[in-house]
């Protein structure tokens, strides 16, 4: 039986086997497909999710985002990324 | 069947009304054949015979057209979809064109080998229906001794590392098993539990007095679902469908007529919802005659109740008209005789009093089932 995934700096998040990240031509946006659910990703969500490959830690994901968005403070990025990943994990879109 | 569409970085975002409406999901009813005889079956009273079923090549063409239109999910359903020998071919094709495939099954005909084959062909997800948590109740409701086989098949799904949804159809005769059903879903290692209380169309409407729970039963169940959601947060997603007879506002049926969803019957007719054939006088186009995109965009049946232009009062001036879309057309027809009326599940409906009798019946003794059979 699985346990709730609590997101931390060391965890290495990825999409579960049943969720698929793909570009949706008809709607012109990135989406995650899961059973009976479609999660439409905005620009920020895509930047985060596309870095969650099961190899990189949350810390490394944040590092990479800080490089790309260097005008945003690290604290802000860290809070946003952690909250977003926890929210997605609780909905079954992200596992460790 | 209502796909949940979530947007952005927060789950509470609502879906904006797009200029061009692109459907999200296709329910492919491959057949009406099924060994079960559930008295709440969502198939129409007039069941389609196997000789009327469209062929493999028709379904392959439809799958291509669906992907081209921007449909994302395909649900292989029935009847019991595993009676179709071409299921593997259809699943493989759906994966090839990028559709997310879901098998909605009673599971009683599945073998481990076939499940493995379906997985290898790219099946993304399996949903197994349960009629209770014990054979005495589950098999009596299904009219078929299948409960043990369902449990076995659900375990195979997880052994084969496929995601599992437990679909629990609940009503006054099994609602006391809800806590056990939640435990069963967790023990089966399901990702998702659908607590689907019976909705009253077709067969279920005939059997309404045998199924509709009392307000007290419903409130108890709702409390149990809320508790389980917090207890199993991050482990089990629970979707909850309540009987809308107790609602103050109607459900956003199908996310609005012709907005997100389409259904194809075993004979190839394209419907805005699986119960739409219950509305007398409507004509539905077939995939044998027209392209799917034409039917979605141009056909009379899809445009009849699309948007808000068809609405009478109190819907027309209601600030929720683009939230619940007037509720359910099939229910409005079944309960008031006119599909263009406000759904009586809305407190503001001038026909709200039609719900008084069924709510009274829910407190009386339950009558015998009328089982789903051809010619019943």
* Chain A residues closer than 8 Å to B3 by CB: 36-38
Q: Give B70→chain A minimum CA distance, Å.
A: 5
Percentage with pLDDT > 70 across chain B: 94
How many Cβ atoms sit within 10 Å of the Cβ of residue B323? Answer: 12
Q: Quote the pLDDT of residue B234.
A: 85
* Chain B residues closer than 8 Å to A20 by CB: 100, 124
Sign of the alpha-carbon dihedral angle for B309, B313, B314, B317: positive
Chain A positions contacting chain B at CB under 8 Å are 1-5, 16-18, 20, 22, 24-27, 31, 33-42, 44-45, 80, 84, 87, 89-92
Q: Closest residue of A to B100, CA-based?
A: A33
Q: Quote the pLDDT of residue A16.
A: 87
- Residue extents of the structural domains in chain A: 20-90
Q: How many residues are listed for chain B in this entry?
A: 376
Interface of B with A in 265-304 (CB under 8 A): none
Q: Give B6→chain A minimum CA distance, Å.
A: 5
pLDDT tens per residue across span B223-271: 999 999 999 988 899 999 888 999 999 999 999 999 999 999 999 999 9
For B58-74, b/e burial (b = at least 16 CB within 10 A) is bbbbbbbbbbebbbbbb
Q: Quote the pLDDT of residue B15.
A: 40
pLDDT tens per residue across span B319-360: 999 999 999 999 999 999 999 999 999 999 999 999 999 999
pLDDT tens per residue across span B110-127: 999 999 999 999 999 999
Q: Quote the pLDDT of residue B88.
A: 98
Q: Quote the pLDDT of residue B243.
A: 87
Q: Quote the pLDDT of residue B256.
A: 95
ipTM: 0.84
Query: Across chain B, what does the average pLDDT equal?
Result: 93
* Chain A residues closer than 8 Å to B2 by CB: 36
Is residue B12 predicted with pLDDT exceeding 70? Answer: no
What is the 3-state secondary structure of chain A? CCCCCCCCCCCCCECCCCCEEEEECCCCEEEEEECCEEEECCHHHHHHHCCCCCCCCHHHHHHHHHHHCCCCCHHHHHHHHHHHHHHHHHCCCCEC
Determine which of A16-25, B9-18, B194-203, B297-306 has the lowest per-residue pLDDT on average. B9-18
Q: Quote the pLDDT of residue B9.
A: 47
Q: Do A39 and B233 touch (CB under 8 A)?
A: no
Average pLDDT, integer, range B280-290: 96
Q: Do B237 and A41 touch (CB under 8 A)?
A: no
Q: How far apart are the first and last CA of chain A?
A: 14
Is residue A1 predicted with pLDDT exceeding 70? Answer: no
Name the helix (H) or strand (E) containing B77.
Answer: strand B73-77
Of A93, A55, A9, A17, nearest to B158 by C-alpha is A17
Tokens describing residue B293: 């995109």
Q: Residue B2 — pLDDT band, cuts 50, 70, 90? A: very low
Q: Does B187 touch chain A (CB under 8 A)?
A: yes
Is residue B16 predicted with pLDDT exceeding 80? Answer: no
Q: Give B41→chain A minimum CA distance, Å.
A: 20
In terms of C-beta density within 10 A (0-12 exposed, 13-18 middle, 19 or more buried), how is residue B216 classed? exposed
Q: Residue B4 — pLDDT band, cuts 50, 70, 90? A: low
Q: Quote the pLDDT of residue B374.
A: 76
What is the 3-state secondary structure of B233-294? CCCCEEEEECCHHHCCCCCCHHHCCCCCEEEECCCCEEECCCCHHHCCCCCCCECCCCCHHH
Q: Do A92 and B69 touch (CB under 8 A)?
A: no
Q: Quote the pLDDT of residue B66.
A: 98
Is residue B131 predicted with pLDDT exceeding 70? Answer: yes
How many Cβ atoms sit within 10 Å of the Cβ of residue B161? Answer: 9
Q: Quote the pLDDT of residue B20.
A: 62
pLDDT tens per residue across span A35-48: 888 999 998 899 99
Tokens describing residue B268: 């190839």
CB B265 within 8 A of CB B251: no
Of B287, B285, B261, nearest to B274 by C-alpha is B261
CB B74 within 8 A of CB B25: yes
Is residue B17 predicted with pLDDT exceeding 50? Answer: no
Is residue B104 predicted with pLDDT exceeding 90? Answer: yes
Q: Tell which CATH classification among 1.10.10.1150, 1.20.1600.10, 3.40.50.920, 1.10.357.10 matches the domain A20-90.
A: 1.10.10.1150
What are the φ and ψ backbone dihedral angles of B140, each rounded to 5 degrees? -70, -40
| Mutate: best of A7, A19, A38, partner B, most B CBs <10 A | A38
Q: Do A90 and B234 touch (CB under 8 A)?
A: yes
Sheet holding A37-40, edge to edge: A20-24, A29-34, A37-40, B4-7
pLDDT tens per residue across span B50-66: 999 999 999 999 999 99
Name the helix (H) or strand (E) containing B90.
Answer: helix B87-96
* Chain B residues closer than 8 Å to A91 by CB: 6, 11, 237
Q: Closest residue of A to B103, CA-based?
A: A35
Q: Do A16 and B163 touch (CB under 8 A)?
A: yes
Residue B186, preceding peptide bond in cis (omega within 30° of 0): no
């Amino acid at each position: 039986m699985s346990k709730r995934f609590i997101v931390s700096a060391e965890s290495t998040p990825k999409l579960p086997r049943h969720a698929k990240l793909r570009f949706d031509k008809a709607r012109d946006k990135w989406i995650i497909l899961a059973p009976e659910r479609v999660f439409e990703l905005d620009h920020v969500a895509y930047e985060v999710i596309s870095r969650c490959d099961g190899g990189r830690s949350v810390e490394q994901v944040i590092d990479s985002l800080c490089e790309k968005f260097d005008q945003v403070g690290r604290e802000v990025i860290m809070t946003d990324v952690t909250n977003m990943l926890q929210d997605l994990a609780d909905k079954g879109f992200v596992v460790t | 069947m209502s796909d949940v569409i979530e947007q952005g970085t927060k789950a509470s975002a609502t879906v904006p009304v797009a200029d061009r409406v692109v459907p999200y999901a296709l329910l492919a009813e491959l057949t009406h054949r099924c060994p079960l005889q559930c008295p709440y079956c969502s198939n129409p009273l007039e069941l389609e015979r196997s000789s009327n079923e469209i062929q493999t090549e028709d379904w392959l063409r439809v799958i291509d057209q669906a992907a081209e239109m921007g449909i994302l999910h395909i649900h292989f359903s029935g009847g019991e979809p595993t009676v179709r020998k071409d299921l593997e071919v259809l699943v493989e094709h759906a994966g090839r064109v990028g559709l997310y495939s879901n098998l909605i099954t009673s599971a009683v005909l599945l073998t481990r080998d076939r499940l493995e084959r379906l997985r290898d062909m790219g099946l993304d997800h399996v949903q197994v229906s349960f009629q209770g948590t014990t054979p005495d109740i589950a098999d009596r409701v299904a009219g078929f001794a299948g409960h043990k086989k369902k449990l076995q098949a659900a375990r195979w799904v997880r052994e084969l590392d496929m995601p599992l949804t437990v679909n629990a159809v609940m009503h006054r005769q099994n609602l006391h098993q809800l806590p056990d059903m939640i435990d069963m879903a967790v023990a089966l290692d399901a990702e998702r539990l659908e607590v689907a209380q019976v909705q009253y169309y077709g067969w279920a409407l005939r059997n309404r007095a045998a199924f509709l729970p009392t307000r007290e039963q419903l409130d108890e169940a709702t409390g149990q679902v809320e508790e389980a959601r917090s207890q199993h947060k991050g482990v089990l997603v629970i979707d909850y469908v309540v009987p809308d007879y107790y609602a103050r506002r109607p459900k956003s049926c199908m996310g609005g007529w012709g907005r997100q969803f389409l259904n194809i019957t075993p004979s190839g007719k394209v419907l805005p919802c699986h119960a739409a054939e219950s509305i007398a006088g409507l004509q539905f186009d077939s995939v044998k005659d027209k392209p799917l995109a034409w039917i979605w965009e141009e056909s009379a049946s899809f445009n009849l109740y699309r948007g808000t232009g068809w609405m009478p009062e109190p819907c027309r001036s209601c600030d929720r008209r683009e939230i619940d879309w007037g509720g359910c057309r099939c229910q409005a027809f079944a309960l008031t005789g006119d599909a263009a009326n406000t759904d009586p599940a809305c407190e503001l409906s001038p026909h709200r009093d039609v719900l008084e009798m069924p709510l009274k019946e829910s407190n009386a003794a339950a009558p015998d089932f009328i089982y789903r059979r051809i010619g019943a």
